[in-house]
Structure formats: C-alpha cells, structure tokens
Amino acid sequence: MSSAGNFFTSKLDDAIGWARKFSIFQYPFVTACCGMEYMSTAAAHYDVDRFGAGFPRFSPRQADVLFVVGTISHKLAPVLKTVYDQMCEPKWVIAFGVCTCTGGFYDNYATVQGIDTIIPVDIYIPGCPPRPENVIDGLMKLQEKIQKNEQSRALYDPCSKIGRPDGIQGKCSTEGKIKHIEPAK
C-alpha cells in the first residue's frame, strides 16, 4: 500500500478509536460491596458520563466494556464467562476492586483468585473498594487503550505467573502448600 494509503488507514483507525473511547457502553456485573462505589462513581457527583461511559446496558450483547464489580465466587464463575462470551468484539474488561483483581483477602474455598484466570482483563482497579477518583483513573487508562486499539487476550496462569501486570502478581497457592489434616484420634 502506498504511504498515502497508510496515512489514511491510520487516520481512520485514530478516528474510530476516538469515537469508541467516548461512547463506552458498559455492562456492570455487580455482585458485592464494590457496587456502592460503582454507583457513586456513576452518579452525578463524579459523573462518568463526562467520559462517555454513563450509559449502562443490561444486555451483554449491546455492551463493549464489562465492568466486573465485586467478589466472584467459583459458583458464579461460569456465569461471568458466559456473559463475557456473549459480548461482541471489540470488547474490554475492567476488574473493579481487589476481589476481582486477585481475590483480595478472600483466599478461601469459595472465591475465584482473580477473574483474569477465567477471562482476559484490560484494566485492574485496585482498592477495597476503589475510590471514585481511582475508578475514573482506570477508565481514562482504558480510554487510552481503546484509542490505541489494544485489547488484552491473555489469561493469568497462577503457576507460571504469566499474564498479570507486575505489582499484582499473586502466588501459586498449590505449590507444596496443600496438606490434608487428619482428624485427631
């Protein structure tokens, strides 16, 4: 392709990215206490509508950003995966709160240790719950990603520790730790 052609396609990508990043149709998958902070971010005081993300769609087929807000239990994990699979491309995922990022302090039998073990995550917003400023910061980082047409495709593998940004690396809890305690006689 000629350089003029390159110029036009890259400009077209820029324009599409710009249009997409200011018309985020989000699907809030709200399960726990982080939902309160999500609501306060969405309401008038912090107002995510300023970033074009003020319009939640409660159907995954019409949404392009999946907000996973709150603890995800193993029982719920297949539902989350189904919702993600139902979304049309291009799609992005935000992990809202430490519960979704790494499981947080729920290191127990019931909780998924980071939703990035089951669906790819684009932006991690830490905090328990994250303050609205933090959420807006995450949203703006997502907008940068959308502008550059980048999407995360990798899942996190807890044993090889690949697929999660440095700084929120979890530990592989299966390594030599499981020991079954026999009942006292």
Partner 1 sequence: MTENHTTSKQPGILTPLQRLQEKFSDKIIESHVFRGDETAVIGLLNLRSVARFLKETPEMDFNFLMDLTAVDYLFYTGGRVQKEFRFEVVYHFFSLKFNKRIRIKVPVDEKNPQVDTLSDLWASANWYEREVWDMFGIQFKGHPNLKRILMYDQFEGHALRKDYPFNKRQPLIGPIN
Using the minimum distance from each CB to ligand SF4, give the nearer residue, 26 or 111: 111
Tokens of 10: 């890259």
Three-state DSSP class for 130?
A: coil
Q: Which of 28, 70, 103, 163 binds ligand SF4 (CB under 6 A)?
A: 70
Concatenated DSSP letters of 67-115: EEES--BTTTHHHHHHHHHHSPSS-EEEEESHHHHH-TT--STTB-S-G
Count of positions on this chain that bind partner 1 (CB under 8 A): 29
| Per-residue mark of binding to ligand SF4, 5-44 (x: CB under 6 A) | ---------------------------xxx----------
| Per-residue mark of binding to ligand SF4, 111-150 (x: CB under 6 A) | -----------------xx---------------------
CA–CA distance, 144 with 67 (Å, rounded to integer): 17
Count of positions on this chain that bind ligand SF4 (CB under 6 A): 11
Q: Measured from the CB of residue 61, what is the shortest distance to partner 1 in angstroms? A: 21
Tokens of 181: 């305690």
Tokens of 16: 């599409």
